[in-house]
Structure 1
Amino acid sequence: MRWRSGRQSNNVEDYRGAGSGRGRRGGLRIGLLGTVAIVLIGWYMGANPLQLLGLVGGANTILGGIGSTETTQASPQGGALNDDGGKFVSVVLGATEDVWNPLFQQMGKRYLEPKLALFEGEIDSACGFSTAASGPFYCPGDNKIYIDLSFFRELKALGASGEFAQAYVLGHEVGHHVQNLLGITTEVSRLQARMSPRDSNALSVALELQADCYAGVWAHYANQTTIQLDSNDIEDAVNAAASIGDDRLQGMSGKRVNPDSFTHGSARQRMEWFRLGVQSGDMSQCNTFKNS
């Protein structure tokens, strides 16, 4: 993946070293591998992993150490991003803007560019207080993508390496932003309110798989316009999708794979929908809800 000649986005907010916005006090950082362990424990105990992660988030605040608990409002650092990690995500975000702006124009719509917030350890968002253990996430409340760059090191530890594997992660989160702008996220929430937990979960999985497909659509056009990819780059992204497939994570627990408890889809599903987006470049092909 050749990206260094690409333009950096103006929509990156760098909160690294600026505190969390709640009075930064260090905190306990368990990372992606720790999150996986918590999820596996939840499955084993029959508990909701999201509830366990919420408890850990609370512990991060409580165990932050001795000192002032005064709440302060963090501000992003100004100036250009000079570190490789910062430059990389800034260029990737710029590449998503260069693709989604014209695609929305073709649909007769306006693309509202999302912000990307870089943080370390913990941060406040319109979706609540979050830690690095949550992994990258998109918050529709403020149209921002949040990421602690340590996630990329932990992603590699799970077997997903290569720069485009990292770019795929951002492409997926931008895919959620696209869903939000198109009203898909709101419609899914409306339907889920009157569904059984099982059917509601199936819609959540479909939403995640569509974000994978949209990431593929972005890669299709980015390769033609802003960044240069080769077959190895695409395979890196496919491998990243497989590495965080729900069946793979469940298999790590030694238990039977249970599709009813999936949150993002199986490794095969994630790979197939991403590939479809890359090969077709057609958003209409990303109807993951058809059989949900």
Structure 2
Amino acid sequence: MPSVASTQVVLISGLSGSGKSVALKQLEDQGYFCIDNLPATLLLQAVQSLRDEGHRRIGISADVRGVHSLPALPAAVATLKSQGLDVRALFLEAKPDALQMRFSETRRKHPLSVAHPELTVAECIVLEQELLVDVASLAHRIDTSDLSANALRSWVKRLLDLDQSRLTVIFQSFGFKHGLPLDADLVFDVRCIPNPYYDPKLRPLTGRDQPVIDFLEAQPLGQKMYTDICNHLVDWLPAFDSDNRSYLTVAIGCTGGQHRSIWLAEKLAVRFGNDRQVLSRHRERRGETS
């Protein structure tokens, strides 16, 4: 049987239609033994049985389909962690309009509509969010509203390749006109920095392109914003370290999420990547990462 320290358990949960099946399939493709829709009351028994069979990497999906057993999930996860297993929990979610569109496109019923046929899809989504509040608090949340299936697969793989014992800081750019990211822990508004969008030559580019970088690097407000955010993170990251968190998502927002926010997210990732585990993600670029 694999040693406790060598066993990794990845728990996938989240809202119906948010991409849980895609994430679980990615685990399976990476060699995990996966179980979909496992009642939370069977989690400890299933993990022990799979470990007895010699499985080192285990992926399990638990969600509202097993709603009556969900209250047992927090205690089960705590028990696995107390045993020394590497337990990672991911909670996938998306904006209600994105979820409704996905149900409309696939013509599938919402799982809660079986027990509550009188509810609309929108009402089922609201109820599901309420039922999964405690589960969401256990996990790293991933907003899949604007993620393609390929981007989600890539993001899950990158997250699982990281050292769980260290805090991972995720710098995420976004555009305010498309709404706040659901998975943000800290949000910084950089719309006060002069906007490259108004230069016709810079408009089709992004914050990764050198002409845009040169433009923004020359802006005093841009430099001050960068310095102030750096100082804030330097002061507060140790507190997040001591809170035993695995992930911290720092969201940087401008108007459209193409220029200023991307530039600053990339710049911050370079700055903190020297001594920390960091990732960057650009929501309005369909989840593009670097």
Structure (1 or 2) with the greater strand fraction: 2
Say which one has the larger Rg.
2
Q: Greater helix percent: which structure? A: 1
TM-score in same-fold range (> 0.5): no
TM-score, structure 1 length as denominator? 0.30
